[in-house]
Structure 1
């Protein structure tokens, strides 16, 4: 694609996927430059990818709102129906350590709902982008369920639910990588209660919903984006047939506390 006219002609979903894929390539080039140690690399990658994504979105969709983890927030977005929400590097630590479990999130909320999403996983062999407009067939669950958890600080509630389900814990880095692991058949449940922000879950939730998965808060309520307070601390992504039981377990644990 040679110019903004061609990019502007893309559908919203195709634009999200294109930007996530290009940002992923940029991040790999920043890392491969060899100019940064692991700590500095995360900051350099975040800022470089953020500049690309924000400039590109303003050029292609200048009338829409924009919220990025790495960009100063502008309250003007609150009056917009269509708001792009991006995380230039989800899993900065994993990116800096040259692991595969990091992601780029590009998505759009419409009237607060996660409608459009693309999650790039550039660290995987060849890199892949999972997108809301091109759903894949989600592999069937095995006899023993698998739950992705933080590889550094798994939440107490998550570990307890996994124990009650008899689920295997699968440590993993970024939120996007965890959510996409369910789609890719590497896991069956992504339950998070340790604190997140809108950019951590918006694109993954849109992609998960488009693939026929359940995506909600851990009390079962809907995920709502483009809020004045962008703190959105919890998330459940899983197959629909497992959602009711998991939500009941969480509610029961809350009553016991």
Structure 2
């Protein structure tokens, strides 16, 4: 099985497990989120260690092993991206299975189980054209200051949404046009979405336009921008004005 097929298969299967746990109605709220994280993590970690034993592995829900830093190929997974949304039985949560090679987000699959979708880096679709008024997807609970400034500068409509994976995939699906995030994310939040977005021809970078680099000792990933290439310059200009540059 190819790396891309494996990523998609594991993301889909983890999503099915999570739906089964959620739909059993045995747990609610925080205990449901914790159970989902644990079950999906056990499945993904066991499967990757069995299928790709020579590769490194980084998971949000697994104790970090520094051996990964010596590997060129590192699987980076988020068993439940948007645990709160999952626990609240919303649709805007995801499963991330990504593969970084030499620090580059190369292979990825993002499952949106509640929507019955798996977006993957090896099976792309045309990204719908942007509407006359751009849409900027933001956190439904804590929109980033930079995102709000860009939305104001571009007169963009705000689209509140839950998990990072759901936000990133919303650009591919034509539900939004720009995804900006600053602060509070880690490598597992964006590796798989970045790989899928890049494969779909989108621009993916830090807020200063520099590329995202994965499998670092410090897994904190401070900021992220995903959009069509035509929107990169206006977004960077709006960010520069907001930051007084």
Q: TM-score range by the shorter chain?
A: over 0.9
Corresponding residue for residue 229 of structure 2: 240
CA RMSD of aligned residues (A): 0.7
- Matches of 1:55 and 1:159, distance apart in 2: 40
- Is 1:68–2:51 an aligned residue pair? no
- Is 1:174–2:163 an aligned residue pair? yes
Corresponding residue for residue 193 of structure 1: 182
TM-score, with length taken from structure 1: 0.94
Following TM superposition, by how much is the alpha carbon of 1:253 offset from its aligned partner in structure 2, in angstroms?
Answer: 2.1
Following TM superposition, by how much is the alpha carbon of 1:35 offset from its aligned partner in structure 2, in angstroms?
Answer: 1.4
Following TM superposition, by how much is the alpha carbon of 1:244 offset from its aligned partner in structure 2, in angstroms?
Answer: 1.6
- Is 1:38–2:29 an aligned residue pair? yes
- Alpha-carbon contact 2:149-2:238 (below 8 Å) kept: no
Superposition pairs for residues 1-257 of structure 1, below 5 Å?
10-124=1-115, 127-255=116-244
- Matches of 1:111 and 1:121, distance apart in 2: 27
Unaligned 5+ runs, structure 1: 1-9
Larger CA deviation: 96-105 vs 247-256: 247-256
Unaligned 5+ runs, structure 2: none
SS of the residue corresponding to residue 205 of structure 1 reads helix
Larger CA deviation: 188-197 vs 199-208: 188-197
Q: What is the CA deviation profile of residues 13-53 of structure 1, one whole-angstrom value per residue up to 9, with x for unaligned ones?
A: 00000000000000000111111121100000000000000
- Matches of 1:250 and 1:76, distance apart in 2: 37
SS of the residue corresponding to residue 154 of structure 1 reads coil
Following TM superposition, by how much is the alpha carbon of 1:184 offset from its aligned partner in structure 2, in angstroms?
Answer: 0.2
Following TM superposition, by how much is the alpha carbon of 1:103 offset from its aligned partner in structure 2, in angstroms?
Answer: 0.2
- Matches of 2:197 and 2:151, distance apart in 1: 21
SS of the residue corresponding to residue 78 of structure 1 reads helix
Following TM superposition, by how much is the alpha carbon of 1:249 offset from its aligned partner in structure 2, in angstroms?
Answer: 1.7
